Amino acid sequence: MIDVAVVGSGISGLSVAWHLSKKGFEVKVFEKEDLPGGNIQTVKKEGFILELGPQTIMADKRVEEFLSDAGIEPEYASERAKIRYIYKKGRLISLPLSPLSFLKSPLLSLFGKIRVLKEPLIAPSIKPEESIAEFVIRRLGKEFHDYIVAPFISGVYAGDTEKLSVKYAVRRVYELERNFGSLIKGAIKLKALGPAGRLISFPGGNYTLIERLSSELSVDTENVVLKIRRKDDRFIIDAKNGKYEAKAVVVSAPATSAGYLLRDISWSASQEFDQIYYAPIVVVHASVEKGSIPEGFGFLVPRVEGKRMLGVLFSSQIFTGRSPEGKELLTIYLGGATDPEVVEYEDELIYSLVEKELKEILRIDKVQFLNLTRWKRAIPQYTIGYGKYLDLAKTLEEENPGLFLTGNYLYGVSVADCIRASHDVAERVERFLTRR
């Protein structure tokens, strides 16, 4: 009998498995695809390093510790990646990085800036839950929402601020209002105006992380798990390649898949998890001549500007070695919760939309397309009322000792969130396995 069966070899599953196998437990990871990694996929093509999924990881102390324990050397983002742009009325405006530059920036009108400065005077809401849009417009005004928060949210969640819950999608912001009555006052008190860590990737791309973790683990690819059942004090895992028994199971597959696997254990959970909406994303990689784009991380396009692109990363400017000599690598995102139908378009239509907008915004003459990836179910949306799914996951675990759930639909969507949550989950699994 295996000590721990881990379903899914995305970063959530691999990092839980890694912690537990370091503690000496026998761990087996089941993966339905032919390669581990889930959303983390890197492709090398014509001298470019293309990230099909996540590009950058915001590494705080806990993430850095994990990487160092796993013996993985990160690559830090370049200094120029601190420059970020927002597209507004035909031009790219750099995102202000200090209160003074905010006041001088043309990103918001004078009225928009005054509205932001009034934030400490706005009373907290008495509503139990608000959308991000409601919350931000109430506290900081519509311009701040449209030109700063909404593009940022589309950069993280590919999400719709009208639908995402401030409480579940950006909990830290929600707590600033609850604990300090004001975001500005709270951020000043907590000295929380800067970034939460350092942006990293790895030499050779993010897949280096997956290769490193899986090289030390037993990862059974092309072995989809079909059902998980409980039998006395153990779990039976029905998978494509056979039946397995485990003392504990960690399900790190996406919500719908997790619910489906657990249908024998909880029919209602399988029905509920199936309702979680994952926004689709189209990722296009393109190359342009060196010197034809400004220096920086890239730009976000506010929805109010009426373009189809959500944002563009200047990938070759963020990390080294991403493009051959004389070329820049761009990664372009489309779709998301506000424009989901793009994912169904033919490649040629997507390329022509992107080419037209890149030429308008960056004023470049020539774009060479390298790759197109469709993520039909990319990022789970923590919408209003999302708490019921979190409660359900907790109840499932409480009612089924030895069953643990993790993944980006529970503890945050970033790679760093998944790494941090996996550490906590691994500690809970260890306590379960070593209980008397």
The residues of the shown chain that bind ligand FAD, judged by CB under 6 A, are 7-13, 30-33, 38-40, 53-57, 224-225, 252-254, 257, 261, 281, 283, 375, 378-379, 407-408, 413-416, 418
Q: Give CA–CA dist 259/84, Å, rounded.
A: 39
Is 265 or 378 the residue whose CB approaches ligand FAD more closely? Answer: 378
Q: How far is the CB of 188 from ligand FAD (least distance, A)?
A: 27
Q: How far is the CB of 247 from ligand FAD (least distance, A)?
A: 19
| Alpha helix positions (H), 252-386 | 255-261, 267-273, 315-318, 347-362
The 8-class DSSP code of residue 149 comes to I
Is 253 or 288 the residue whose CB approaches ligand FAD more closely? Answer: 253
Is 28 or 247 the residue whose CB approaches ligand FAD more closely? Answer: 28
Identify whether the C-beta of residue 348 lies closer than 8 Å to the C-beta of residue 128: no
Q: How far is the CB of 15 from ligand FAD (least distance, A)?
A: 8
- Whole-angstrom Cα Rg for the chain: 22
Q: How far is the CB of 237 from ligand FAD (least distance, A)?
A: 9
For Cα atoms 125, 153, 7, give the angle at the middle one, nearest 5 degrees: 105
Is 53 or 74 the residue whose CB approaches ligand FAD more closely? Answer: 53
Nearby residues of 51 by Cβ (< 8 Å), 6 or more positions away: 41, 42, 201, 205, 206, 315, 331
Is 257 or 266 the residue whose CB approaches ligand FAD more closely? Answer: 257
The 8-class DSSP code of residue 3 comes to E
Is 112 or 259 the residue whose CB approaches ligand FAD more closely? Answer: 259
Q: How many CB atoms lie within 10 A of CB 131?
A: 19
Q: Quote the strand ranges of 126-277, DSSP E.
A: 198-201, 219-220, 225-231, 234-239, 242-251
Q: How far is the CB of 407 from ligand FAD (least distance, A)?
A: 4
Is 174 or 244 the residue whose CB approaches ligand FAD more closely? Answer: 244
Q: Are strands 242-251 and 403-405 parallel, antiparallel or unpaired?
A: parallel
Is 141 or 254 the residue whose CB approaches ligand FAD more closely? Answer: 254
Burial 97-111 (b: 16+ CB within 10 A, else e): eeeeebeebebbeee
Indicate the length of the chain as a whole number. Answer: 436
Q: Are strands 278-289 and 242-251 parallel, antiparallel or unpaired?
A: unpaired
